[in-house]
Structure 1
Amino acid sequence: MWGSVAPTGVAIRDVRGQLFDAAERVLLRAGPSALTSRAVTLEAGCAKGVLHRHFTDFDTFLAELVRDRITRIEDRSAVLLRSAGTGTVADRLTGALLDLFDSVAVALIGLLVSRDGLRARLRGTRPAGVPVLADAVAGIAAYLSAEGALGRIAPDADADVLAPTLIGAAHLLFADRHGVPPGAEDVRRVVTAVISGAERTAP
């Protein structure tokens, strides 16, 4: 946990988390174009120099913000993978997609699409494609493969095709961050259509 000082002279605890939370609020309220170091520190209620004392530059801060979200996706993907064999495949996928495409994730995807340099900085050893979306695809594919091994997905079903299809279709539902978010039934309808013919029901 890092300590720093606010303009009032009061120590700030967990600077990293506070700045990330502030950046997410700016993203949700005003969109990617409004996300600047000054906007983040104003939102966090701290001096501008605080961000630059803990991150090399603003691009580094943004990359760490996205990596933090990717870590959450990986944690949720591990939970989904452990759920293989329980409930129904459609229910598990619906829940996973609703969890993934919260308002912050949708805003971060917009940020990544608009900033080539940020995507390049994150590329490294990450799955090919747009970060966050590509990581979600990997998690869904692993889950579908596990269900296939359990016989709950048809053996000829291609998890590496189904997973990006699910993520892409769900993203289209959620992409308008100013619109009314889709409900569980909207997402379930997409899931059911995509995995139709692949999911095996219990006799």
Structure 2
Amino acid sequence: MPTGVALQDPRRQLFDAAVRVLIRDGVTGLTGRAVTTEAGVAKGVLHRHFADFDVFLAELVLERIARVEAQATALRDEAGTGTVADNLTRALMDLFEPVMVAIVVLVIARDELRARLRAAGTARFPLVGEGTAMVAGYLTAERDHGRIESGADVETLAPTLIGAAQLLFTERKDSPPEPAAVHRVVTTVLASALR
């Protein structure tokens, strides 16, 4: 990048570049140099804005966690409307979009990143834990609306749904599962809990 050209939002530019590299080249291809090359900036730009590459990655994941938390609020607001299965199917399709799946793999692959995220107060399994909390919060709201059985074990149903959905999404390399497949998982897991 020529000297004197101001970057509009270097953090955003670097995050977007990291996501592109991660999706295209996987965890092993995600390096500081690959990110700055993809972003079209000098290598020093990353270190000007982040103490090191693991801090950069932690910030990237924390940004995704904030998105999941916003999605959780929106999903809870849907409680009592539509059908429980349709609402959860849409939420799981949104949650397990390709970037999320790639970032979960990244978190699993990097011990230092997991340690930093836990120090920042994330779930024990970052992103997956927040996704589970999102589903549990929604199921609790639906139980309060009387659309889920009052004795339903939300704390078991939520991780069961997340685990089953994660398997559906991670088994497919090139495309996400069809919504009908996700809907089938949701209705099967919730069969005894739905009113």
Q: 1:127, CA displacement in angstroms?
A: 2.5
The structure 2 residue matched to 1:127, chosen from 120, 123, 148, is 123
How big is each residue's C-alpha offset from its partner over 1:78-101, in whole Å with a ceiling of 9 and x where there is no partner? 000111100000000000000000
- Look up the SS of the partner of 1:7 in the other structure: coil
- Look up the SS of the partner of 1:85 in the other structure: coil
Corresponding position: 1:85 with 2:113: no
CA contact (8 A) 1:103 1:177 kept: no
Unaligned 5+ runs, structure 2: none
| Equivalent position amino acid for 1:69 in 2 | R
The aligned residue for residue 7 of structure 1 is 2
The aligned residue for residue 3 of structure 1 is none
* Root-mean-square deviation over aligned CA pairs: 1.1
Q: What pairs up with 1:148-167 in 2 under 5 angstroms?
A: 148-167=143-162
| Equivalent position amino acid for 1:107 in 2 | A
Q: 1:181, CA displacement in angstroms?
A: 1.6
The aligned residue for residue 100 of structure 2 is 105
Q: 1:9, CA displacement in angstroms?
A: 4.0
The structure 2 residue matched to 1:72, chosen from 59, 62, 67, is 67
Distance 1:7 1:177 in 2: 41
Aligned-residue identity in percent? 58
Corresponding position: 1:58 with 2:53: yes
TM-score when scaled to structure 2? Answer: 0.96
CA contact (8 A) 1:85 1:147 kept: yes
TM-score when scaled to structure 1? Answer: 0.93
| Equivalent position amino acid for 1:59 in 2 | D
CA contact (8 A) 1:107 1:177 kept: no
Distance 2:168 2:54 in 1: 29
CA contact (8 A) 1:19 1:44 kept: yes
Q: 1:116, CA displacement in angstroms?
A: 1.4
Unaligned 5+ runs, structure 1: 1-5
- Look up the SS of the partner of 2:7 in the other structure: strand
Q: 1:180, CA displacement in angstroms?
A: 2.9
| Equivalent position amino acid for 2:106 in 1 | L
Q: Which has the higher contact order (CA 8 A, sep 6+)?
A: 2
Q: 1:15, CA displacement in angstroms?
A: 0.7
Aligned length: 194
The aligned residue for residue 44 of structure 1 is 39
CA contact (8 A) 1:106 1:177 kept: no
Q: 1:10, CA displacement in angstroms?
A: 2.2
Distance 2:123 2:143 in 1: 22
